Amino acid sequence: GDSVTQMEGPVTLSEEAFLTINCTYTATGYPSLFWYVQYPREGLQLLLKATKADDKGSNKGFEATYRKETTSFHLEKGSVQVSDSAVYFCALSDPSYGGATNKLIFGTGTLLAVQP
Amino acid sequence: DAGVTQSPTHLIKTRGQQVTLRCSPISGHKSVSWYQQVLGQGPQFIFQYYEKEERGRGNFPDRFSARQFPNYSSELNVNALLLGDSALYLCASSSLGEQYFGPGTRLTVT
């Protein structure tokens, strides 16, 4: 079945360092890809998305490019801040699922800790 | 505008008991999905409802059930609770292919 694999954490960086969190996926169709962020004691928030190959999603300085050839959707940010400390989830929408909205399949999450 | 709301925030139950969790979607959203997030893991899909009809079910036992009301709010019911049901239960409402999550209900089973 469809699945998402992302790098294990925690990832610990100093402020202003470059961030990469790897994400690869397995899907039978043509999924949409997402990055969600979960801050402490808060719900999941959509960070960015891409709906087709070569699309680049971006938001708040974060970027990810949908790479069909490598089945990847790596999250990057050029200069992290302490306020970026959170758990990041890569997810795909299941293209084989019918209904009003495709269900989301999540990776296990990567904890990012940014130190001042 | 109010986001997705869930109640209660926290809940402690004993093994074998039953629990009902509630969710109110964003105004105008007709689809509600439920996810279970065990500590240290990503959310797992439980149910989706659209216009009061079940549109999908994840790999969860029949102890889990849900329904959606005419005002599009939803309830998730879990019977015969097990220790392994301890988790954060997330509700998401959706529109135009994007899902918006509520803060969750933290269920602890002792």
pLDDT tens-place string over residues B85-106 = 999 999 999 877 788 999 999 9
Per-residue pLDDT tens digits for A33-51: 999 999 987 889 999 999 9
Is B43 close to A45, i.e. CB distance below 8 A?
A: no
Q: Is the pLDDT of residue A99 over 60?
A: no
List all residues 6 or more positions away from A14 whose beta carbon is below 8 Å from its beta carbon. Answer: A114, A115, A116
Residue A107 pLDDT grade (very low, low, confident, very high; cuts 50, 70, 90): very high
Residue B41 pLDDT grade (very low, low, confident, very high; cuts 50, 70, 90): very high
Query: Contacts of residue A104 in chain B, CB cutoff 8 Å?
Result: 33, 35, 43, 45, 92, 99
Quickly list DSSP for B66-104. Answer: EEE-TTS-EEEEE-S--GGG-EEEEEEEEETTEEEE---
| Beta-ladder partners of A44 | A38
Judged by a CB distance cut-off of 8 A, whether residue B42 touches chain A is yes
